[in-house]
Chain A
Amino acid sequence: MTVFAAASIAVLVALFLAVVRALKGPTVFDRVLAGNSIGTGAIMLLALFGFLTERPEFLDIGILYALLNIIGTLAVLKFFRHGDLSHPGGEEPSEN
């Protein structure tokens, strides 16, 4: 049990640093990257908390977070690249 508590504290420290970067980040890409790392840290924290409290049902929520994390990151990046979530993608024409 002690190792789970220690790992939870380490993940919390990592989450704090990532949140500071997400608040400070000079560009939007720093914030997106920090948001992705916050998502990974949240998954780890959910799994560790499930072991800490002997309730492995938290892992299902962790799977959900892992699946939503990548979708959210890609959606935000597509929005900031094309300005439109329904953009078909691909290379933009040079003269526009």
Chain B
Amino acid sequence: MAEISQIFGAVLIVMGSFFFVVGAVGIFRMPDVFTRMHAAGISDTAGAGLLLVGMMFVAGLSLVTVKLAVILVVILYSSPIATHAVAQAALHAGLEPILANKKIMVGPGAHPVPEKDKAKKAPPQTKSRTPTRRPAGKTSGKARSTAARKGRTRS
């Protein structure tokens, strides 16, 4: 029985190490701060949680288990609070998620540009990379919003 809990704890520790490294690679490689928050959530919940639960199984029932549980509870409460605070401060500072303006082209939330909007677009207006900053009044509102959407999907 003792060996089974030791082996189970070892397996959980190996899985937790894997998730911890995955989260750190995400923090290193993701393109902006909001996607990095997602990766930090992986290493804070899956990585740390599996490592601590695995250590609990290895330690058996003692005071060490209680201390590990306290660390786990503190991490599980503090990690979402810290992520929320970072996101709120970043949005307050004016950072925008780089994926916010991209259209979702696949999946249940997909809303691709309809065919009639594609046919309606005028070639010189859609050349601009930042169509929303053009002075108002040149085109009608509907055509301008269509051009803005097309420009965003292209970029």
Contacts and interface: CB of A to CB of B under 8 A. Distances in A.
Interface of A: 3-4, 6-7, 10-11, 13-15, 17-18, 20-21, 27, 29-30, 32-34, 36-37, 40-41, 43-44, 47-48, 51, 56, 59-60, 62-63, 66-67, 69-70, 73-74, 77, 80-81
Contact of A18 (B14, B24, B82, B93): B24
Contacts of A17: 24-25, 27-28
B81 A70 contact: yes
Interface of B: 10, 13-14, 16-18, 20-21, 23-25, 27-28, 33, 36-37, 40, 43-44, 47-48, 51-52, 55, 58-59, 63-64, 67-68, 70-71, 74-75, 78-79, 81-83, 85-86, 89-90, 92-93, 95
Contacts of B48: 40, 43-44
Given A27-B90, A81-B93, A6 B64 contact: no
Nearest to B10: A3
Nearest to B27: A21
Contacts of A13: 21, 24
B43 A66 contact: no
Given A27-B95, A44-B51, A70 B82 contact: yes
A43 B92 contact: no
Contacts of A70: 74, 78, 81-82
Contacts of B70: 63
B65 to A, nearest CB: 10
A59 B86 CA distance: 27
Given A7-B17, A10-B18, A14-B20, A47 B51 contact: yes
Contacts of A29: 33, 86, 89-90, 93, 95
